Amino acid sequence: MQEKLSTNPTELSDSIRNLAEERKKENKKFIQQLKRKPPHDLDVRTQEIHDEVFENTDCLACANCCKTTSPIFYEHDIERLSKKLKLRPVKFIEQYLKRDEDDDWVLKSAPCPFLLFDNTCEVYHDRPAACRTYPHTNRKKFHQLLDLTYENTFVCPAVQSIVSRLQEIYP
């Protein structure tokens, strides 16, 4: 079931996080259960639920991922975006990126500097691969992404709904 969330950006972000906090214990327990014994049809069922949930999700009314977290920027992302912005890659890095604790390139600040006032993306056609695949709930070998999915319940209301639906299927 889709939760009713605020339309105010700060309140929206808080309400997504609060809901994830409320469900933290049961979500964590469920994710551990899936990790211990991944159901044989997990990929298929998750893909179906992902499609259903995103059919009813308006990302342009949310954009909480772009407002609060950073994608990883791989080398080909940096090259493509530098070209788009007519910057040398070294300048692009200097202006927008920093290394995180895993030594990956991520945005220096949030919200993403390419997020426009209407929640569209200024560099949509050249956006990083991680933005294209977020929140990764339709990926093969989904059992390898369960920890990330748990973390994403704090950011993405669609992920929270997907996890809740999976809980109904795999009680």
Residues near ligand SF4 (CB under 6 A) are 57, 59, 62-66, 71, 112, 114-115, 121, 123, 127-128, 131, 134-135, 155-158
Which CB, 93 or 123, lies closer to ligand SF4?
A: 123
Which pair of tokens denotes residue 57? 């999700």
* CB nearer to ligand SF4: pick between 127 and 165: 127
Q: Which contiguous run of DSSP H or E holds residue 98?
A: strand 97-99
Specify the residue, 37 or 86, whose C-beta has the smaller distance to ligand SF4: 86
CA distance 74 to 89: 12
What whole-number distance in Å separates Cα of residue 29 and Cα of residue 15?
22
Structure tokens at 113: 């500097």
Q: How far is the CB of 12 from ligand SF4 (least distance, A)?
A: 9
Residue closer to ligand SF4 by CB (options 135, 146) is: 135
- How far, in Å, CA of 106 to CA of 115, rounded? 15
Q: Shortest distance, CB of residue 106 to ligand SF4, whole angstroms?
A: 10
* Phi, psi dihedrals of residue 119, rounded to the nearest 5°: 70, 10
> If you compute the radius of gyration of the chain from its CA atoms, what whole number of angstroms results?
17
**Shortest separation between residue 22's beta carbon and ligand SF4, angstroms:** 18
